[in-house]
Structure 1
Amino acid sequence: MNDLILNFAEKICCFDFDKLENSTNYNNNIPWEKYTLSLGYPSLVLFYSQLNKLFPSSKWRNISHKYIEKSLNYINEGITTDISMFSGFTGLCYSIWVASNEGKNYNVLLGELDKHFFKILDIKLKSVLPKKNFNTIDYDPILGLSGILRYTLLRKENPKFLEYTIKIINILNTSINYVELNGFFVPKFYIRPEDHFTEEDKISFPNGSFNIGMAHGVSSILAVLSLAKINGIEVSNTNETIVSLSNWILKNRMYDEYGTYWPGIIRIEDEINSDNIFKSYQIKRQAWCYGTPGTSMALLLASKALSDSNISTISINSFLNIFSRPESEWVCTSPTFCHGYAGILQIAKRFYQESNEIKLLKYIKSLENSILTFYSIENQFLFNNIEYNLQKAHIVKDVGLINGAIGVILSLIDIEHQEMCFWDQPFLLS
């Protein structure tokens, strides 16, 4: 796989990404947001920084620096109001931090970035604090506090970052509070009907719902609070929150002939009426974003934070059950990270790293082979993203981290190098 990774690095380093701003994909979206970690220059900074960690070379450091300079136009153009990890300022800061070799370089630049980071983080925190219930964009890793917290954890040796780390943890700890809803009490992470992302969900869940997934759901809160504890941050009530969220997720696991699984979303009716026991949920996806892979990973991290062998066993067995299920039921049609094979592959590698479960090795090999079926030297970035709309497949040429080629390529890093991998931190896998 090393040759493929290095070939990709050579192929894209001279590509004129700015010209992507003049292109659109099937739904008229531009496949390039130059200042975001999701699909912009920060994703390239992250990629070449990870490459330099694995294969140290001044060449990779210089390329990373080139993309840092391009990323800094984010500040010069004044587009600095979005604090999120994947779409905003945190992603930019994160990419430069990992390029800095944990602060050994770019000290002056990081100091300037930090000033603005705290300024817009204060705005975010003030908007979330008074809310009766959380919207997913308040707490998720894509746009919310989970992604921001993953970055502040990396900077915890800095007193101000530690202060804000604790502030965010305290806010996320309130997720287990219950709020009144039409005479019933439900967890604070209840999603109101109008806050659903899609019209389909608004129709399917007219009274509201609970999102279990890693991308936009409660699994992300569990994962990042567990990572905080694993990284030595002890905050009052965090243990209670990790236990409560774990129990809530475990309460909502479902079973069929292939074993345990989780749907992406739970109806409000099923939370209120425990007798209304989940007979009509179908598996819509097996991926990092929704379904068993991401949720079982969150539970694995919780088991490590709590030193709970029972949760660990459940999480490992639940993840293994995925491979007993016919692949046609995975709804996995793309090689990419968010809702494709790359996300499942990287989760499998992290499960193996934590558990040494030997069965995972053959599944890892199988997932790698599945990804390679999408490879073509003719593809602009070697791997295309494939999106479905109205049951029709659409090819999307995306170089980025979350739905693009960078996420695919990084997932192919050999399993023995996982100790040196930091690129999956924004996804809350490490």
Structure 2
Amino acid sequence: MSDAGNGARPTTPDAADFLGVDRGLSEEERAIRDAVRDFGRAELLPHVAEWFEAGTIPDPRNLAKAFGRLGVFGMHLSGYGCAGTNAVSYGLACRELEAIDSGLRSFVSVQGSLAMTAIHRFGSEEQKQQWLPRMAAGEVLGCFGLTEPDAGSDPGSMRTRARRDGSDWVLDGTKMWITNGSIADVAIVWARTDEGIRGFLVPTDTPGFSAPVIHKKLSLRASITSELVLDGVRLPADAILPGAEGLKAPLSCLSEARYGIVWGVAGAARACLEAALEYAGTRVQFDRPIASFQLTQRKIADMLVDVNQALLTAYQIGRLKDAGLAHHSHISFGKFANVRAAQRVAATARAIHGANGITLEYPVMRHMVNLETVSTYEGTEDVHALTLARTVTGISAFR
């Protein structure tokens, strides 16, 4: 039906929302988007290049408390001090955070979608009461230990073990590439037991637990990444997550975090497009802004399509999730498609910036290298491609 009869007139589309996705947002969703966007631009953006160059977040506990006041930790969870928002609202928050930097979205995602979701979904009532309100407030930090040095895409081959010793559990093993590991107060550690894979709440001051920081990263530098070493870590019987049995438990948490990536990389892509538009409009060569040249305009058109198709994909998956209709392969579709789109946009934006694009004065190279990590963690591109093909063929290529 045409809008002509009611007097509506089309307006010139905005580059960041060319297809009008924001028109489908509720008032509450817009308010959450704007609150996180304003916080990110005022409190994070002025510092993130410096943090990236330094290879750390200088004061993560104060940052955690600020995120807690903002209400983004575990915002999609209900009760225990959590905001209880819908999935689209959480996605919008991830989009705004990753528009600043992937490491900052990861900071929030690991706390809320991995550590807090594991406790919320699989913990006892006592565990939930003990940990979740303080984690939602940013007073306590968590991490999530699944990946190992020799068990990345195949977490079922993990070597970390938990054995019974009387009424206690004793954990031995190593986890790798753990965001917030060295600053966490509690680690959710997944280990092999005689009864299968189980999850454990490990206070990080427990004897035998250590979390050395991983240095010399060239990507996701505004983030703290650690190894977890468990050397005879003794835990009481009630440290186990009673509802988590088998590999499906940690994988379901990863699916929650992966959903945030679907939105987050759309934010990184948007930031690169906006930077490229500003730069191309002001950079003059041959007496003309480079935005006037056909080759540059083609690059801008390609970026425009990628950015807005990524947003559409995230939005549709979010609405499916809120309706209870999101299959795990929908989220694989989103990560597979949106990360690749964001990588194309970041690389093209870097090229438009020329030599200036490799400096931290502009955000494009920072996003470009961050996306290399995002492409790898929580399911590589190849793993998600095989997941999608298995869904539509009914044939698994994994085993």
What TM-score do the two structures reach when normalised by structure 2?
0.26
Give the strand-richer structure, 1 or 2: 2
Question: Quick check: which has more Rg, 1 or 2?
Answer: 2
